[in-house]
């Protein structure tokens, strides 16, 4: 059984230490806000000028003036703050964010990330992903393990235009949790009923167990 998008987000929330300041990229990462512990002191940053972003509002409670970088309506937690784009990117480029979670089209075994343009496709622009990937202390990529056409997205080396080189620390997909290791990926955790051979068939790079030889924990995120 593979993880759902919501279960990927729940597992990603476990990567956030108490008291951290984090940024959630457009797409799948935005779901993580709904799994952040309210008592953990975590502050979610949005590059359009918000610190203290909460989960999505209930239907009927939306405020069109409160949006994230993907123009989705959001909520604001107590103590939240608003500021202009210059201040927002000063926070990113100044190294003030502990964790960033980004969607990705490809992640290389050397930690490279490509998440803004498919060769031959329509180019939407890189946005703030380049700054986030290089300015944050830890980068976690949330993505499907393969494309809609079945092509591997965890690869030896990226063939799409790079967003940042050597930036990714961890990748979470519907198949599990993987760390770039330079010459392949280390399977930190697998989703229930997912085998290492199943992952290897869908990864364009070697996939190994942790060097400790420990069994890979299989469980479903809450």
Residue 107: partners with Cβ closer than 8 Å, 6 or more residues away: 113, 114, 141, 143, 153, 154, 155, 158, 168, 171, 180
Distances (CA, A) of 45 to 26, 64, 134, 189: 12, 18, 16, 28
Are residues 73 and 62 in contact, defined by beta-carbon separation less than 8 angstroms? yes
φ and ψ at 6, to 5 degrees? -70, -35
- Catalytic entry in 47, 59, 201, 211: 47
47 is catalytic: yes
Catalytically active residues, by annotation: 47
């Amino acid at each position: 059984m593979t993880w759902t998008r919501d279960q990927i987000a729940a597992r990603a929330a476990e990567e956030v230490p108490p008291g951290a300041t984090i940024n959630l990229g457009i797409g799948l990462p935005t779901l993580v806000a709904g799994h952040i512990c309210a008592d953990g002191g975590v502050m979610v940053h949005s590059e359009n000028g918000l610190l203290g972003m909460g989960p999505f509002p209930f239907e009927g409670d939306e405020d069109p003036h409160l949006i994230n970088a993907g123009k989705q309506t959001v909520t604001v937690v107590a103590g939240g703050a608003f500021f202009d784009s210059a201040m927002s990117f000063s926070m990113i480029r100044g190294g003030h964010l502990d964790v960033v979670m980004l969607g990705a089209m490809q992640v290389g075994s050397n930690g490279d990330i490509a998440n803004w343009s498919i060769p031959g496709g329509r180019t939407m622009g890189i946005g703030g992903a380049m700054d986030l990937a290089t300015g944050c202390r830890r980068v976690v990529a949330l993505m499907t393990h393969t494309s809609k056409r079945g092509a591997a997205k965890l690869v030896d080396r990226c063939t799409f235009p790079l967003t940042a080189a050597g930036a990714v620390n961890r990748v979470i997909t519907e198949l599990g949790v993987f760390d770039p290791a330079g010459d392949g990926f280390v399977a930190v955790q697998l989703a229930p009923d997912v085998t290492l051979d199943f992952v290897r068939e869908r990864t364009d790079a070697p996939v190994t167990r942790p060097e400790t030889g420990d069994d890979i924990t299989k469980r479903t995120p809450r």
